């Protein structure tokens, strides 16, 4: 899907979340949904299968999110799936997260780590990244077992790779 179309969906989600008055909750829940879909090939295939009736795809969303997400979040995911954009869910949510942060003057730092960061780690890393980025940074922690240890942080086009895998490869190259 084109970046203009993704931006259109992202902006629409931002407008709905603001109008409903629960931007932070919606952002958190949509991020969780997008990561779950990204990590499950069968779920991603089902939600992006436009040959499957839309009612079936919405039922999958309701089964997964029922009782775990707000009605707003369920409706937004349902809207994306019904529109035939289930395969673009992660890109749309990422666009929404970045648009929401930009609207408050913040930048988003996606931190991939093998385990979830503790609150203390989030605070320290957020402060360090904010100082280096020249402004406030919002952390989005993605648990990625392939990182093994350390973290890989992306802010816009900048990638800061502090993973153990990269350090081992650097040591190997040096030897």
pLDDT by residue for the chain (175 residues), tens only, comes to 567 888 899 999 999 999 998 888 998 899 889 988 888 889 999 999 999 999 999 999 988 888 889 999 999 999 999 999 999 999 999 899 888 888 878 888 889 888 888 999 989 998 998 888 878 888 888 888 888 888 999 887 788 888 888 888 888 888 8
Q: Among residues 99, 119, 148, which one ends one of the domains? A: 99
Q: Look at strands 137-143 and 158-161 and give their pairing.
A: unpaired
111 with 117: CB under 8 angstroms? yes
- Kind and range of the H or E run holding 153: strand 151-155
- CATH number of the domain residue 32 falls in: 1.10.520
Q: Which domain holds residue 145?
A: 106-174
Q: Are residues 75 and 110 in the same domain?
A: no
Instruction: Residue 17: count other Cβ atoms within 10 Å of its Cβ.
Output: 23
pLDDT at 168: 83
Q: Among residues 39, 67, 99, which one ends one of the domains? A: 99
Q: Among residues 99, 133, 155, which one ends one of the domains? A: 99
Q: Are residues 163 and 146 in the same domain?
A: yes
Half-sphere exposure for 126 (CA within 13 Å, toward CB) = 16
pLDDT at 170: 84
pLDDT at 164: 83
pLDDT at 1: 56
Q: Are residues 47 and 94 in the same domain?
A: yes
Q: Are residues 10 and 88 in the same domain?
A: yes
Domain count, the chain: 2
In angstroms, what CA-CA distances link 163 with 112, 117, 124, 170? 9, 14, 17, 11
């Amino acid at each position: 899907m084109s970046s203009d179309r993704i931006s259109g969906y992202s902006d629409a989600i931002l407008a709905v979340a603001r109008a409903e008055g629960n931007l932070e909750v919606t952002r958190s829940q949509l991020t969780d949904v997008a990561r779950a879909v990204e990590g499950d090939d069968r779920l991603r295939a089902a939600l992006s299968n436009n040959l499957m009736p839309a009612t079936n795809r919405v039922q999958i969303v309701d089964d997964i999110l029922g009782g775990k997400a707000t009605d707003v979040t369920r409706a937004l995911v349902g809207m994306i799936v019904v529109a035939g954009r289930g395969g673009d869910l992660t890109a749309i949510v990422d666009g929404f997260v970045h648009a929401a942060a930009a609207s408050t003057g913040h930048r988003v730092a996606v931190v991939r780590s093998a385990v979830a960061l503790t609150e203390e780690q989030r605070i320290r890393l957020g402060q360090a990244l904010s100082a280096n980025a020249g402004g406030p940074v919002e952390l989005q922690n993605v648990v990625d077992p392939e990182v093994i240890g350390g973290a890989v942080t992306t802010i816009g086009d900048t990638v800061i790779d502090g993973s153990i895998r990269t350090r081992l490869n650097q040591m190997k190259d040096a030897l």
